[in-house]
Structure 1
């Protein structure tokens, strides 16, 4: 019985570790490139939006998470430097928006 329990616990641990590894991979690539329309900040570094770096625009804030954007590409690194726990890429129109953004005709 204990052998079966160990086998099941290993499978559960692997199932939990895989999504975590994917999130950490996204966070690492995003910290390096900073290329996304916006960022989802898990546990923002400041208690209120005024405590964020100056050029960061807050799109949504609830205290536990924040959606922010900036024209400056190093804003993700600056969020980490100011104490953010996890910063992930975020699409302003949602993660299921599969249509490319439309550019105005010139």
Structure 2
């Protein structure tokens, strides 16, 4: 295990924890409008009710987006350093697709 693999693992695991936390808070309706975390589309930012309703609709996708991040973080702990460069692309691609689908669901729920 190298410093690079530890940095990659910690970064991906931390990002996974943040996505999981935000998805759980969104599902509970406890994610209030803020400047840091959440889906930031005009429809969701228009009102507090729209923000909460949209995030409740997107919550399963936000929670699911933490799975590739956790998997990538664990993979980084055990993989050879030559494979670490190939971890980021599929992990981020799957996470991004899930967040984009969640954004579409959130916008549909508000409209």
**Greater relative CO, 1 or 2 (CA 8 Å, sep 6+):** 2
- Report the structure, 1 or 2, having the larger helix content: 2
- Taking structure 1 as the reference length, the TM-score comes to 0.39
- Taking structure 2 as the reference length, the TM-score comes to 0.38
- Report the structure, 1 or 2, having the larger strand content: 1
User: Which has the larger Rg?
Assistant: 1
